[in-house]
Structure 1
Amino acid sequence: MHTSISKLFVKAGDTLQTVMDRMNNVRKEDASLPRGIALVVDTGKRLLGIVTDGDVRREFSKGTPAGTPVSKIMTKKPGTITVDRWPSNILPVLSDKIKAGSWPKERLEKIIIVDKKNHVLDVVSFYDLIHTSDVRYKHIGIVGLGYVGLTLALTLADLGFRVKGHDNNKKVMEALGKGRAHFFEEGLDELLTEHIGKNFVLVDDFKGGNNADIYIVAVGTPLTSKNQPDLTALKGSLTTIGKVLKPGDAVVLRSTVPIGTTRNFVIPLLEKLSRLKGGEDFLVSFAPERTVAGKALEELKTLPQIIGGVNHAASELIANMFSFLTRSIIHVDSLEAAEMVKLINNSYRDVTFAFANEVSLVAQEWNVHTKKLIEAANYGYTRSTIPLPSPGVGGYCLEKDPFLFMASAKEKINKPKLPEHARSVTNAMRKKILTDIISFLNTHKKGKNAKILVLGLAFKGRPETSDLRGSTSLAYITDLQSKGYKNIWGCDPSVFAHELEGRGITLTNPKEGFKNADVVLLMTNNPAFDDLPLKRLLETTKKPVLFFDAWNIASPADMQKLPGVLYKHL
């Protein structure tokens, strides 16, 4: 609210020159007041009309005398919004006028507020209103209801926001409509049951009454067969939004993208579809998703949210929204900086995990126990936080984000060497383990029908998740199947059975899986495997049996005492 609004007032009899001088001086007197406008009022401060510096300049160019009264050229019936009290929330009123086409988009910068007797109360911009309004009045539209979009949608709904969700996958929409989440996440089903059809509604599109004020894009950005970014799903989502985008709306990207995508791809496409101007008519921000599958609901409320906007108004609006989730908001300088945060987070992690695997590859050649080695190196030495090795660095993000980072870097410099080498180390670890498995099978003449049990099918075991994207276990299974080994059994208590249909895997429980198994691969550290009676289960296998313990869950000393059991670990 501007307390010095009277500095914009002029009289009907004031000359054009006087009014122009007034407009030029007012900004110097109060920088918070809008520029280039004068309010023509009567002695009771009731609005008679308005005039802009552009109006006066046009009159001067036509030769109109500088002494002409401003009443001769003023706009006598300017658009106003009438309120009972001020300040108050006028966004719903203004939004209705914009939707109805009765408020031109070029007048969003100077909105005149009057009372019922036409007394001038204030002049504000649309973005002033956005910044000062309670963001919870806004309708949130989320495109993409997967691991990222659904968890955010239900968290916002739980905080009181009105959220509309859309996904192109009809099976996902059908399951959610029945109150069933299509993936496992601690506490997700309870939130869905509580909010579906209330604060969280499913929509086929965002037309008409389904329109939103803030659109959040949370679709996947996978890689092509040549490890290049595939923005097909992103383009489809933006097309859905761009066709209904209206002045004052905001678009937020949560999808991980190459650096520069928001500015050079997203904004131009939205501008083309909506015929609006990004940063002026609509706002755009990037707020990277950085939660871990299995703990997303928790981390949405604890992790710092990174915000980068096309301008300050965009950053502030989205920061306002996320401030209801977490107290920690980190503003970065640009859209590009926000895009880069997620890429360097995951590229760094990928390099770190690859280092652990490279240590393991070397240690094995020197007959050194890798886990004990790393624990000794880390113990009491705070400058060392080497992670434990793994049978492969998987997961949807870690498999692709280093490639997105490399693709972005190649546009400016030569391809970065560390992320590329990290990926090659990951492949080397997978190749070595696969070679060991096949060597065992060949050495002991197990044949192509050998029973192979894989414990842990999701891409990780802790925290528990049903996410199969980037699963190392599935990669090994595919490799084994390609070499003719078809008798693959699998067990993972966190994974939905229907998601494994058609993969040639016999789903089982540990007891049935171990029985007559020729190879047992313990691939994840799912808590369900912590207390398995391994000794008793291994006794039921077909000897000799290869037991590969990727996470060092078993005791090497105990395993080596078991007859007919070849125990391997990282």
Structure 2
Amino acid sequence: MATIVQNVALLSKKEKNIRDISLRRTALVKDALRAMTKNNPKETNIPAGIALVTETSGKLLGLVTDGDIRRALAKGARITAPLADIMNKDAFVIVGPMDNAGIFSLVNEEIRNRGVHEHRYDKIIMVDEAKRVTDVLSFYDLWQGSDVRFKRIGVAGLGYVGLTLALTLADLGFKVVGVDVNERTRDSIKQKKTPFYEEGIDVLLQDHVGKKFVVSENFELNNRCDVYFIAVGTPIGEDNVPDMTYLKDAARNIGKVLKRGDIVILRSTVPLGTTRNIIVPILEAASGLRGGEGFFAVFAPERTIEGKALAELRTLPQVIGGINQASSNLAASIFSMMTKSLAVVDSTEEAEAVKLINNTYRDVTFAFANEVSMVCQKWNIDTNKVIEAANMGYARSNVPKPSPGVGGYCLVKDPLIFAYGARVVGYEPKLFEYARRVNETILTNLAEDVIKHLDYLTSKQKSKIFILGFAFKGNPPTSDLRGSTTVALAKYLVERGYANIHGYDPVVSKEEIEQLGVKVVRKVEDGFQNADAVLVMNNHPALEELSVRSLMTKAHIGAALFDTWALYNKEEVLKTKGISYRRL
């Protein structure tokens, strides 16, 4: 059943021949493709990529978009299939006529009610009281014709944070300009090739690059926008001080093109006070405008998990903190198009704290589990077993399993950024940095246990080490090696003189692994063959599904399996004669 809202006023529009994109219930998928191909929006004023299924009276039965057809074909449908099999029978329609402001208000309300993750409103259908189609509108054209100021969005930084955000905004109907200083990154995206693994990103690249999403080296001339997101890296230097170079450069470049009424939204993780005390003054100096009056500024942290970022952008609550209330309100109007839940806090500093709290809490929690593991190992206690027992039926305990350190770009640096911000105001934090040391120590201990095992078994020259899982995490899958504990482990072993190291990862590229001095195996079985030590370093689902008991029969007698994520049944693995099994 279609969702219907009642009319308000009159929509002024050019004459459109809706019959050109209208098909009957008996039409086929190929008929819809033909109608979409024939439709030239510049001539017809009808949005591209849509076909209607109507009765002879013009009453709407359903609609099909080019995206619906692509997804259906990807699932095995044929172009000779009945259009009724794939059409959307629950289309959002508006009973008109209605003015642009009224349409825009109702679309916003519908998005909040339904949630944009399942229902996107790139095309808007208007019907009369008899449900006969009277108009088809493009959501972006609606914005252009309305009094809403945000016509184009710019994203500075097209890494894991920026690219997923840019594509999500394009998928919601916004025109997006993405800027990155790295030429290779820009060229890869322009060719619709993803620079990294992220579930669902390939489809969005194919859908939007060169259309709603364009890539450039700057925001100058025709690339000027109304909304600017900054999503560049803030790495930690050797002195544990955040490097703000990329962030300051991005702010200067945006400030040069900033015009009155624009809004700048910072996504990068930063020390407390950065938005107000560093970024806003840079924008003011470069633009000649005053923050909060001439332009608006907000900190709205990215909190998605790699591998599920595209889904979480549309479902996680978005935290917003502006330099004033007007800034927060404007940012909320943007994010309300993307997610149903907003958490508007009172300042940029509060929003900055939220991201630091989230990631530092996780790092500290993992450090607790890892220190428990190091104590249990000394007592010859199975850490995973006792943690499971401690958590069972006890709601006040939710201790995570131990892991071979804590990796990832965010978790290894954000506690240090939090600590830096504390020192700026005269407080010397203790817990944040101690937790970091614990998570580093457990990895060093693991490396030394591997070396001790190999020294007992054979020589460095003859030892074969097989490592599975190089990405910093396995589930959800990602190809990101930044902050990977496996990378640190491999480098440690190479530095200690072990040269016969073999590796495998279901997602990470062969070239990236080989740069570590690791030989990439063609098949997992090849890695187990004659291995002296096998280390499973992340929890990718493909690794969990391995028949390890059978594979370990290919290893040398005396070999050890280091199951750092406790993926396998210990008793089952030990049925393989002549091998040992170790957990954290």
TM-score by length of 2: 0.74
What is the DSSP-based 3-state SS (H/G/I as helix, E as strand, rest coil) of the residue aligned with 1:454?
A: strand
Measured in 2, the distance between the counterparts of 1:357 and 1:404 equals 22
Task: Quickly say closer, same or farther: Cα 1:133–1:517, change in 2 above 3 A.
Answer: farther
Map 1:177-188; keep pairs closer than 5 Å: 177-188=190-201
Map 1:29-428; keep pairs closer than 5 Å: 133-134=147-148, 137-428=150-441
Partner of 2:456: 443
Measured in 1, the distance between the counterparts of 2:496 and 2:579 equals 24
Partner of 2:549: 535
How much has 1:557 moved relative to structure 2?
1.2
Amino acid at match of 1:311: N
The 8 Å contact of residues 183 and 496 in structure 1, kept in 2 or not, is answered as: no
Structure 1 unpaired stretches of 5+: 1-85, 90-128
Q: Which moved further from structure 2: 442-451 or 325-334?
A: 442-451
Measured in 1, the distance between the counterparts of 2:330 and 2:237 equals 34
Amino acid at match of 1:535: R
Of 499, 511, 525 in structure 2, the residue corresponding to residue 498 of structure 1 is: 511
Partner of 2:499: 486
The 8 Å contact of residues 446 and 518 in structure 1, kept in 2 or not, is answered as: no
The 8 Å contact of residues 490 and 516 in structure 2, kept in 1 or not, is answered as: no
How much has 1:448 moved relative to structure 2?
3.4
| 1:295-353, Cα deviation, whole Å (9 max, x unpaired) | 00111011100000011111011111011111110011101111110001111111100
Task: Quickly say closer, same or farther: Cα 1:245–1:368, change in 2 above 3 A.
Answer: same
How much has 1:406 moved relative to structure 2?
0.2
Of structures 1 and 2, the larger Rg is shown by 1
Map 1:460-475; keep pairs closer than 5 Å: 460-475=473-488
Partner of 2:490: 477
Asked if 1:518 corresponds to 2:498, the answer is no
How much has 1:213 moved relative to structure 2?
0.6
How much has 1:501 moved relative to structure 2?
4.6
Asked if 1:457 corresponds to 2:477, the answer is no
How much has 1:133 moved relative to structure 2?
4.3
Partner of 1:567: 581
The 8 Å contact of residues 143 and 219 in structure 1, kept in 2 or not, is answered as: yes
Amino acid at match of 1:390: S
How much has 1:547 moved relative to structure 2?
1.0
How much has 1:562 moved relative to structure 2?
2.3
The 8 Å contact of residues 158 and 195 in structure 1, kept in 2 or not, is answered as: yes
Measured in 2, the distance between the counterparts of 1:88 and 1:182 equals 39
Asked if 1:553 corresponds to 2:563, the answer is no
TM-score by length of 1: 0.76
Structure 2 unpaired stretches of 5+: 1-98, 103-142
Measured in 1, the distance between the counterparts of 2:311 and 2:450 equals 39
How much has 1:449 moved relative to structure 2?
4.3
| 1:235-291, Cα deviation, whole Å (9 max, x unpaired) | 221122111111111111000000011111101111111121111111110000000
The 8 Å contact of residues 532 and 555 in structure 2, kept in 1 or not, is answered as: yes
Measured in 2, the distance between the counterparts of 1:333 and 1:546 equals 54
Identity %: 51
How much has 1:492 moved relative to structure 2?
0.7
Q: Which moved further from structure 2: 206-215 or 485-494?
A: 485-494
How much has 1:417 moved relative to structure 2?
1.2
The 8 Å contact of residues 549 and 575 in structure 2, kept in 1 or not, is answered as: no
Partner of 1:45: none
**Count of aligned residue pairs for this structure pair:** 445
Measured in 2, the distance between the counterparts of 1:88 and 1:177 equals 35
Amino acid at match of 2:564: A
What is the DSSP-based 3-state SS (H/G/I as helix, E as strand, rest coil) of the residue aligned with 2:466?
A: strand
Amino acid at match of 2:550: R
How much has 1:88 moved relative to structure 2?
7.2
Measured in 2, the distance between the counterparts of 1:299 and 1:513 equals 35
Measured in 2, the distance between the counterparts of 1:174 and 1:400 equals 29
Amino acid at match of 1:514: F
How much has 1:404 moved relative to structure 2?
0.2
The 8 Å contact of residues 359 and 410 in structure 2, kept in 1 or not, is answered as: yes
